[in-house]
Amino acid sequence: MKKRIALLITLILVVVAPALMAKKRAKSVAMATLAGGCFWCMEPPFDKVNGVISTTSGYSGGSVKNPTYRQVSAGTTGHAEVVEVRYDPNKVSFADLIEIYWRNIDPTVKNRQFCDGGSQYRSAICYHNEEQRKVALETKKRIEEEKGWTVYTQIVEATEFYPAEEYHQDYYLKNPVRYKYYRNGCGRDKRLDQLWGSSGK
């Protein structure tokens, strides 16, 4: 009998426990979908956050399936440039990510961000569940009250996400000189400093 119990315990430890742990780890991945103008510039602030697993530039919010960069940048698809942030909610909360998000966008303008104009460059928090929606709305209201701004950032339900072409992914790492030239030329950090006192780079 003791041998059977020992064998059963060993079986649980070897087979069942790893499966349960894997299931637990799978549940520890959440997603945030955020539009803040040029997606090149929205990856770096999140990549350095402990608990962020990955960032992916892409398109969302429109009606065209599998859009290309040329289509989206022309403003004919309804999509916005977004960054999909996968994160471990046990290490970083959605509320923490949203605080970072606000300080890396200009919420005071409609259908543009910095030097890029058009609805494809609108700012938006695309929520995946009710908790995310509440956090987005509460922080938006708080900013409007504290700053006295009209905040044009949309709070909308997340729709299908389409990853952007590979050359857009981690652009700031692959092409650091061009990235810095674009970012500086667009006046992004200067405007962020005016709004928040820190660019949040």
- Percent of the chain at pLDDT above 70? 85
Active centre residues (catalytic): 38
Q: How far apart are CA 116 and CA 37, in angstroms?
A: 7
Q: How far apart are CA 178 and CA 167, in angstroms?
A: 13
In what helix (H) or strand (E) does residue 163 lie, and over which residues does it extend? strand 162-163
Range 6-22 average pLDDT: 46
Q: How far apart are CA 97 and CA 101, in angstroms?
A: 6
Res. 16 pLDDT band, cuts 50 70 90: very low
Q: How far apart are CA 158 and CA 169, in angstroms?
A: 21
52 domain-assigned: yes
10 domain-assigned: no
The conformation of residue 29, written as its DSSP 8-state character, comes to -
Mean pLDDT (the chain) is: 90
> What DSSP letter does each residue of 41-89 carry, written as one string?
GTHHHHHTSTTEEEEEEEEESSS-SS--HHHHHTT-SS-EEEEEEEE-T
- pTM to 2 decimals? 0.85
The residue among 165, 158, 167 whose CA lies nearest residue 60 is 158
The pair of three-digit structure tokens given for residue 139, joined into one six-digit string: 């922080």
13 domain-assigned: no
Q: How far apart are CA 167 and CA 111, in angstroms?
A: 25
16 domain-assigned: no
Q: Report the chain's terminal Cα–Cα distance, integer Å.
A: 64
Range 163-186 average pLDDT: 98
Minimum mean pLDDT among 2-6, 12-16, 31-35: which range?
12-16
Q: For the chain, how many residues are written?
A: 201
The pLDDT tens digits for 97-150 are: 999 999 999 999 999 999 999 999 999 999 999 999 999 999 999 999 999 999
Q: How far apart are CA 13 and CA 16, in angstroms?
A: 6
Amino acid at site 63? S
- Percent of the chain at pLDDT above 90? 84
65 domain-assigned: yes
What count of Cα atoms within 13 Å lies in the side-chain half-sphere of residue 138? 10
Domain count across the chain: 1
Residue 102 contacts residue 139 (beta carbons within 8 Å): yes
116 domain-assigned: yes
- The CATH code of the domain that includes 113 is 3.30.1060.10
50 domain-assigned: yes
98 domain-assigned: yes
**Residue 72 sits in which domain range?**
26-196
